[in-house]
Amino acid sequence: MASVVEYKGPREGYRCGYCDAPEGKVSSGMWAHSMTVQDYQDLIDRGWRRSGKYVYKPVMNQTCCPQYTIRCRPLHFQPSKSHKKVLKKMFKYLSKGEFSKGNNEEEPMDSQMDDAGMHDFALKSKLDIKSDQRPLSEDCHEIKESKVKEKEDLEPKETKMLNKSHAKQEKLGSGEPSGSVKVVPSTPKPGKGADLSKPPCRKAKDIRKERKRQKLILKSQTDQVQHEEKPKLNQPKSIEDFIFDTLPDKSAHQLEVRLVPVSFEDPEFKSSFRQSLSLYAKYQMAIHKDTAAECGEAEFTRFLCSSPLEAENPPNGPDCGYGSFHQQYWLDGKIIAVGVIDVLPYCVSSVYLYYDPDYAFLSLGVYSALREIAFTRELHEKTSQLSYYYMGFYIHSCPKMRYKGQYRPSDLLCPETYVWVPIEQCLPALENSKYCRFNQDTKAVDEERIKELDRLRVLYKRTIMPYNIYKKRQKGPSDEAIVQQYADLVGQTCSERMLLFRS
């Protein structure tokens, strides 16, 4: 299976949807009749992006609003304060049916769920301490009794005998004061000496010291265990902790997220198509002010239901396989949002999101992005190389499009050398210039630049051939300039794998 593409060349002089410049947008494009997931992965790592089956790449140093490919690193992602606010808002709505009116971005953090969690932890701690103290008090009581017993056992026999003699003389005395009774101590009989078969006698003081030392050792070990467990309890909550927090038994709403392959042969996709189309039209007319004709069935199918990606299900791949999907958000039995995504060898790539404007108070754009980050982390557990979340283009020159930079850590793609650079290093340069080369190594070049154009593969008259053979069979004027342009944009590896259709 090979990708088949038809290069359309550069397109310029059309309206920009970001700055509204009437003729400011410039890009190169190609029509993908079919495409493998690996080829598309390599293309987006060179700044390409698809819209339906049309794959395009902005001409970065010419277009009015340079569009930099951005990717998030989900394995190290920690939700920000605003992200947590959105997740808590969704939980509150699902569990209680409550939502805040007004400007959602300005509402305070909802600490109710955190307080409840802290209360549960405090209660658990008190119960644990209480249960731990009971055996400890019993031990102390036993120690106290044993000390008394030891004191009695260790008392010298001579003293005991003397005391008994005193008591006897006082009890049987002849009327004289007990203090004047003369007692003639009997000489102890010679013994056989210490019994070497028994352990030597220990003083009560030494035994107390030993017991105290054992208690200190035990306390030290207990403190160490608690110290090791404490950081785990105090770790910041992960994105999964918020998303998959258990709802109460009688929650107000039920949310289900379904991953559906983009294929009319799939029964679930086919059965939900009409509802999904209706939602798309409602979204486009309310948010983007499209007319009904501009968001009809044909446009919807071309834009979001037609994909050039060939589905693949390799044994070492994710359970869902690779390809294009609709991630549907079902609330109480109806679709309220759809995230269009591509699952590729190294990433989940976000294509588009449309949602019901009636539920805008739930910040579904942010919520779906966080769900897709969590989904990427889930896929990574099965397929280790799949570890990035591509958010499309970052457009610094358009303030409304800077929100993607809030999902940290993230990287931007250098438009000249195609290496990834942390966004923190890129922002200072973007403040000074719309177009920037992010790679600070001035000697670095595009490692995938074309070295041998003759190895490029061509599909000509239903026959696959290298470009040097095609040139000999070609009739009419040479098309080497346009083929060279295509090869420079897709890189050496893709040019040797993909088939460039020539008529």
Report the chain's mean pLDDT, rounded to a whole number.
84
Interior angle at CA 56, CA 407 and CA 265, nearest 5: 85
Task: Report how far residue 392's alpha carbon sits from residue 64's, in angstroms, rounded to the nearest whole number.
Answer: 18
Position 172 pLDDT exceeds 80:
no
pLDDT digit string (tens) for 400-438? 999 999 999 999 999 999 999 999 999 999 999 999 999
Indicate the pLDDT class of residue 228, thresholds 50, 70 and 90.
Answer: low
Q: Which amino acid makes up residue 380?
A: H
Domains of the chain: 254-391 (3.40.630), 447-503 (no CATH)
Which tops the pLDDT comparison, 13 or 138? Answer: 13
Q: How many residues does the chain have?
A: 503
How far is 242 from 45, CA to CA, in rounded Å? 31
User: Distance (Å, rounded) from C-alpha 155 to C-alpha 117?
Assistant: 58
Whether pLDDT at 448 is above 50:
yes
Asked if residue 26 has pLDDT above 50, the reply is: yes
Higher pLDDT, 120 or 20: 20
Give which of 341, 411, 405 is closest to 376, Cα–Cα.
Answer: 341
The pLDDT value recorded for residue 462 is: 95
Neighbours of 312 (CB within 10 A): 16
Closest CA to 211 of 138, 146, 137: 146
Q: What is the mean pLDDT of residues 131-138?
A: 40
Give mean pLDDT, residues 163-178.
43
Whether 148 has a pLDDT exceeding 90, the answer reads no
Residues 6+ apart with CB under 8 A from 361: 99, 100, 101, 104
pLDDT-based confidence at 181, cuts 50/70/90? very low
Mean pLDDT within 292-297: 97
Q: Pick the closest to residue 92 from 293, 247, 235, 323 (CA basis).
A: 247
Phi, psi of 393 (to 5 degrees): -110, 140
Distance CA 430, CA 414 (A): 12
Evaluate if residue 130 carries a pLDDT over 90.
Answer: no
Q: Tell me, what's the pLDDT at 1?
A: 87
At residue 411, φ and ψ (nearest 5 deg) are -130, 155
Q: Read off the pLDDT band of 192 (50, 70, 90).
A: low
What tokens appear for 322 in the block? 């690779």
Note the pLDDT of residue 187: 61
> Is pLDDT at 254 greater than 80 in this prediction?
yes
Who has greater pLDDT, 434 or 140? Answer: 434
Statement: residue 108 has pLDDT above 70: no
| Residue 194: per-residue pLDDT | 62
- Report which secondary-structure segment, H or E, holds 463: strand 463-466
Stated pTM of the model: 0.75
Q: What is the mean pLDDT of residues 192-216?
A: 75
Per-residue pLDDT band for 190 (boundaries 50, 70, 90) equals: low
pLDDT at 46 over 80: yes
* CA distance linking residue 15 with residue 24, whole number of Å: 6
Read out DSSP for 294-361? Answer: GGSHHHHIIIII---BPPB--TTS-TT-BEEEEEEEEETTEEEEEEEEEE-SSEEEEEEEEE-GGGGG
Percent of the chain predicted with pLDDT > 90: 71
Q: What pLDDT digit, counting tens, does each position of 271-284 carry?
A: 999 999 999 999 99
Instruction: Give the per-residue pLDDT at 284.
Output: 98
pLDDT exceeds cutoff 80 at 231 = no
Q: Is the pLDDT of residue 126 over 70?
A: no
Looking at per-residue pLDDT, the higher value among 197 and 433 belongs to 433
* Cis omega (within 30 of 0) for bond into 345: no
Q: In what order do the strands lie in the sheet with 54-58?
A: 49-51, 54-58, 25-34, 4-14, 499-502, 457-460, 463-466
99 — pLDDT class (breaks 50, 70, 90): confident
Tell me: the pLDDT tens digits for 202-211? 778 888 888 8
**Residues 430-445 pLDDT 10s:** 999 999 999 999 999 9
Burial 53-69 (b: 16+ CB within 10 A, else e): bbbbbbbbeebbbbbbb
pLDDT in tens, 316-361: 999 999 999 999 999 999 999 999 999 999 999 999 999 999 999 9
CB-based contacts of 121-124 (< 8 A; 24+ apart in sequence) = 121/233
Question: Distance of CA 372 to CAs 174, 349, 368, Å?
Answer: 104, 9, 6
What's the confidence (pLDDT) of residue 45?
Answer: 98
Which pLDDT band holds residue 197 (cuts at 50, 70, 90)? Answer: low
Residue 131: is its pLDDT beyond 50?
no
Per residue in 451-487, pLDDT (tens digit) is: 999 999 999 999 999 999 999 999 889 999 999 999 9
Rounded CA-CA distance 394/67 in Å is 6
